[in-house]
Structure formats: C-alpha cells, structure tokens
Amino acid sequence: MKVQLLEATEDPEELVCTGARNDYYGGYVGDESFETVMEGIEGDSIEEKKETLIGHLLSHGHFGPFEHPQATFAVKGISRSCMAQITRHRHVSFDVQSMRYVAFDDVDPADVAEGELVVTPPSASDPDWVGRNQKTGAVDEEAVAERERVFEESVSRSVEEYQRLLELGMPPEDARFVLPIGTKVNMVMSMNVRMLMHVADMRAAADAQWEIREMTERVLELASEWCPITFEYYEEHMKNRKNRLAP
Ligand SMILES: Cc1cc2nc3c(=O)[nH]c(=O)nc-3n(C[C@H](O)[C@H](O)[C@H](O)COP(=O)(O)OP(=O)(O)OC[C@H]3O[C@@H](n4cnc5c(N)ncnc54)[C@H](O)[C@@H]3O)c2cc1C
C-alpha cells in the first residue's frame, strides 16, 4: 500500500482561523491582513495565536471552519474490500481505478501469491494474528501452513481463470466477477479537514479492519505535516473519541 498527498490547500490553518474569526469580527476579513484578523487572540506570535484559536475551536466542537481546507490523496494497492469500506463516507470524493477499462492480462498468476494484484492479509500466514469473528482459537503450525497454501492457491487460480476468460473474449467488466475481493485497486480521494477527523475517528479505531486502519494512519501522518496544529491537537485530545457524531 502507498498513500501520498497529491494536492492540498495552502496555509490550511490560516484559512481555518480566518473562517472562524469571520464569525465574531466586526470588520470584513477579506479587507484585512491575517495579523489584523487575529488581533485579540492570545499569543505572542502568529503561530501561538493560531494554536490558541485552533485549540479553542476543537475543544468547543466548533468544527465548521475545518471544512474550508481540502486535501487530495493518491492511494495505491488497497483491496477492493478496503475500497468498499472507505467509499461509505459520503463527504469524501473518490476516483477509483476501473476494472471495466483496465484488464490485468499481463500479471503472472504465479506472482499473485507474492502480493501481485491481490492483497494478502497478515492472517494468511501469521499464527498469532487475531481478527474479529475468528472461529478458531490458537492454531498449530500445520494449520497455518495449510491456511497460507489454500489462500495462495485460491487467489492464483482466480487470476488464471480471469485471464483465461479474457483470452476467450469475455469483456474485462464481466471476467472480473471471478476475481477475489482482495484484488488491488488504486484510488484518488479528497476530503476536508473536518471529514478527515471523522474518517480517522471511525477508521483508525481499534475495531476497524487492519487494512483501512493502516491506510487511515498514513493519511493522518500526511495530515499532520499539512495541518500540524490541528492534528497535534487531534492526536493528543480527540483520537479515539469513538464514533463521535459531529455537532
Ligand atoms: C468498524 C466498522 C464496521 C462497520 N461495519 C459495517 C457493516 O457491517 N455493514 C455496513 O453496512 N456498514 C458498516 N460500517 C459502515 C458504517 O455503518 C458507516 O456507513 C460508515 O462508517 C460511514 O460513516 P458515517 O455513517 O459516519 O457517514 P459519513 O458518510 O462519513 O458521514 C459523516 C457524518 O455525516 C452525517 N450524515 C451523512 N449522511 C447522512 C444522512 N444521509 N443522514 C443523516 N446524517 C448523515 C452523519 O452524522 C455522519 O456520521 C462499519 C463501519 C465501521 C467503522
């Protein structure tokens, strides 16, 4: 999996503060410098003032101003299962690689077991992995080896049969029906800062699946560089506010 920041609002936290100051400001923020707009906010420097105001907004649940800055992420190699989970978030915008127009006819089925084209979950080979709704308790080495073999055989066979159907002239949009839900996909997604915090609340949480959790943690790392004050506060005070509905 790879996650990178493609594009993002410049000076996102200046924008958040300007939006918020507009609410309680007698003048017109469009006519003033940022320094003037921030007059009256506690702090010796403009950075300190931003920290004060952003901390105040987040601690009071005043999330509207965080809808102004937007970021776009490119995601590579997540499973279709993970894609189905993240696309449930209705305020995130997506572009998803099409399996109608992209045919994976050049992938060697022998490489599929090595992670080519299909995501291999850690539980396929890790005896200590404990997932949700797991039927077995502790498993012996033999069972784990068998689990790995069945998984590899199954995904390789699916890809082989998919490619055979393409050779037989079946359109990629229909041949894909035999591919596993773990088939990899690339995606571009955009969201504002408020939504990013909501997605993180739900998808970086301990009960989310390992893959979407990993993707969300990577998004959060990039967000921390882009909006450092906001996401430092989020990490310290808000992370794990379980499924909190935004007021
Ligand atoms: C651990 C986990 C397990 C899950 N398991 C399942 C499952 O088994 N089956 C399943 O179907 N889904 C499942 N989901 C998905 C979940 O039910 C939500 O659909 C998904 O997380 C989107 O989040 P959201 O509802 O907050 O909506 P978002 O689209 O992210 O919207 C953000 C917020 O906007 C508001 N909002 C948006 N649209 C509306 C609306 N139409 N009406 C009212 N308020 C709205 C809500 O306050 C919402 O919280 C799971 C999610 C998690 C995190």
Residue nearest to atom 9 of ligand 1 (CA): 85
Report helix, strand or coil for 27.
coil
Strands of the chain (E only): list them. 2-8, 70-79, 93-96, 184-192
- Whether 86 is in a domain gets the answer no
Structural domain count of the chain: 2
Q: Which atom of ligand 1 is nearest to the CA of 203?
A: 53
Do 29 and 62 belong together in one domain?
yes
Do 122 and 141 belong together in one domain?
yes
- Whether 53 is in a domain gets the answer yes
- Whether 87 is in a domain gets the answer no
- Catalytic residue flag (residue 203): yes
Q: Choose the final residue of a domain: 158, 180, 202.
A: 180
Q: Which of 67, 88, 245 to mutate to test the pocket of ligand 1 (most atoms within 8 A of CB)?
A: 88
- Whether 91 is in a domain gets the answer no
The single-letter DSSP state of residue 153 is H
201-241 pLDDT tens trace: 999 988 889 999 999 999 999 999 999 999 999 999 887 66
Query: pLDDT above 70 covers what percent of the chain?
Result: 94
CA–CA separation, 106 and 109 (whole Å) = 9
Query: What is the per-residue pLDDT for 242?
Result: 58
Q: Which atom of ligand 1 is nearest to the CA of 209?
A: 1
Q: How far is the CA of 89 from the centre of ligand 1 (A)?
A: 6
| C-alpha distances out from residue 135 to 123, 165, 214, Å | 13, 35, 24
- Whether 16 is in a domain gets the answer yes
45-72 pLDDT tens trace: 999 999 999 999 999 999 999 999 999 9
85-112 pLDDT tens trace: 999 999 999 999 988 777 777 778 778 8
- Give me the catalytic one of 21, 80, 194, 203: 203
- Whether 114 is in a domain gets the answer yes
- The CATH number of the domain holding residue 19 is 3.30.1360.170
Up-side HSE of residue 4: CA atoms within 13 Å toward CB? 5
8 A C-beta contact, residue 222 and residue 4: yes
Look up the domain containing 215 and give its range.
Answer: 2-72+186-238
Do 16 and 63 belong together in one domain?
yes
Label residue 98 exposed, middle or buried (CB < 10 Å: 0-12, 13-18, 19+). Answer: exposed
Q: How far is the CA of 241 from the centre of ligand 1 (A)?
A: 15
Report the pLDDT averaged over residues 243-247.
43
Do 175 and 190 belong together in one domain?
no
Do 159 and 192 belong together in one domain?
no
Residue 112 CA, distance from chain mean position: 24
Query: What is the per-residue pLDDT for 141?
Result: 83
CB neighbour list of residue 237: distance below 8 Å, 6 or more residues apart: 58, 59
Could you tell me the two tokens for 133?
Answer: 């709704």
Do 154 and 220 belong together in one domain?
no
Per-state percent for the chain, helix, strand, coil, to nearest 5? 50, 15, 35
Residue nearest to atom 25 of ligand 1 (CA): 89
Residue nearest to atom 38 of ligand 1 (CA): 90
Q: How far is the CA of 208 from the centre of ligand 1 (A)?
A: 13
Do 160 and 208 belong together in one domain?
no
Average pLDDT, the chain: 91
Q: Choose the final residue of a domain: 180, 202, 228.
A: 180
Q: Choose the final residue of a domain: 180, 198, 213.
A: 180
Q: Is the pLDDT of residue 244 over 50?
A: no
